[in-house]
Amino acid sequence: MKLIMNLLKKNKLKNFNDSRGKLFFYQQNKFLSQRVFFIEGNKNKIRGNHAHKETKQILININSKTEIEIINSNKKIINFFKPGEYIEVPKMSWVRIYFKKKGYIAVLCDKKYYKNDYIHDYEKFLKLKKKAFI
């Protein structure tokens, strides 16, 4: 249950503001990023729609209007995800990102890209999750 509650927690990015504008930043010692990428999502499209066996991620909303669906421990959580917020996604969490309008999300990963870390089949994901809790 604690893991699910952590998924519900959205955090605001720290920022520095002056006459030129804002600089948003993420600064935590607990997460060592091995990979960074950016998702461009088109209006009314879904991105993600998979899980990772070992990779933990931090999703940072840059300027998108999105809903994030995270499924973990057989529970579904939907968050409205606003610019300037981030969500920490544990490994073995199914993630769907629904873009309400075109926008960008930055993704920090604690592991380098490894094709076999991805689970693209939802039924396979559910079976692996069930095994993990037995």
Q: What is the pLDDT of residues 84-106, one digit of tens each?
A: 888 889 999 999 999 999 999 99
Report yes or no on 59 lying in a domain. Answer: yes
Q: pLDDT digits over 2-33, tens only?
A: 444 444 567 787 777 888 777 777 776 667 78
In a domain, 53, yes or no: yes
The DSSP letter of residue 111 is: S
More confident residue, 107 or 10: 107
Domain membership of residue 54 (yes or no) is yes
Is residue 21 assigned to a domain?
no
75 within domain boundaries: yes
Distance separating alpha carbons of residues 1 and 41, to the nearest angstrom: 31
Question: pTM (2 decimals)?
Answer: 0.80
The residue range of the domain holding 113 is 2-12+31-132
Helix, strand, coil in percent for the chain, rounding step 5:
15, 50, 35
Q: Is residue 26 part of a domain?
A: no
Residue 24's contacts (CB-CB under 8 Å, 6 or more residues apart) are 13, 14, 15, 84
CATH code, 107: 2.60.120.10
Q: Average pLDDT over the chain, rounded to whole?
A: 84
Percent of the chain with pLDDT over 70: 87
Is the pLDDT confidence value at 47 over 90?
Answer: yes
DSSP 13: P
> Tell me, what's the pLDDT at 5?
41
128: helix, strand or coil: helix
Quick one: pLDDT at residue 133?
60
Task: With a cut of 90, say whether residue 130 has pLDDT above it.
Answer: no
In a domain, 77, yes or no: yes
Average pLDDT (108-121) is 95
The answer to whether 69 touches 96, Cβ cutoff 8 Å, is yes
Confirm whether 19 is domain-assigned.
no
Q: How far apart are CA 45 and CA 13, in angstroms?
A: 25
> DSSP alpha helices (H): ranges in 1-134?
2-8, 122-132
Residue 4's pLDDT is 42
Count up the domains in the chain and report the number. Answer: 1
Q: Tokens for 20?
A: 């030129």
Q: Among the ranges 10-14, 24-28, 46-50, 62-66, which has the highest mean pLDDT value? A: 46-50
Q: Tokens for 57?
A: 């991620």
